[in-house]
Amino acid sequence: MIKKIEFFLYESQYKNEIDCIVLGYPLRMDLSKSPRTFMVEKFKKRLEAIIPIEIVLQDERQSTIAAENILFEAGLNGKQRKQKKDALAAQIILEDFLKKESNK
Return the amino acid letter for 63. Answer: S
Q: What is the pLDDT of residues 27-86, one digit of tens each?
A: 999 999 999 999 999 999 998 988 888 999 999 999 999 999 999 999 999 999 999 999
pTM of the complete model = 0.81
Considering the domain architecture, whether residues 41 and 66 belong to the same structural domain is answered as: no
Q: What is the CATH number for 8?
A: 3.30.420.140
- 56 and 11 assigned to the same domain: yes
Q: What is the DSSP string of 10-44?
A: HHHHHHS---EEEEEE---TTS---HHHHHHHHHH
Identify whether residues 89 and 40 lie together within a single domain: no
Whether residue 102 sits in one domain with residue 86: yes
CA distances, 86 to each of 23, 50, 56, 92 (Å): 13, 27, 19, 10
6: Cα separation from own chain's centroid: 15
Same domain, 16 and 47: yes
Structural domain range at position 91: 62-104
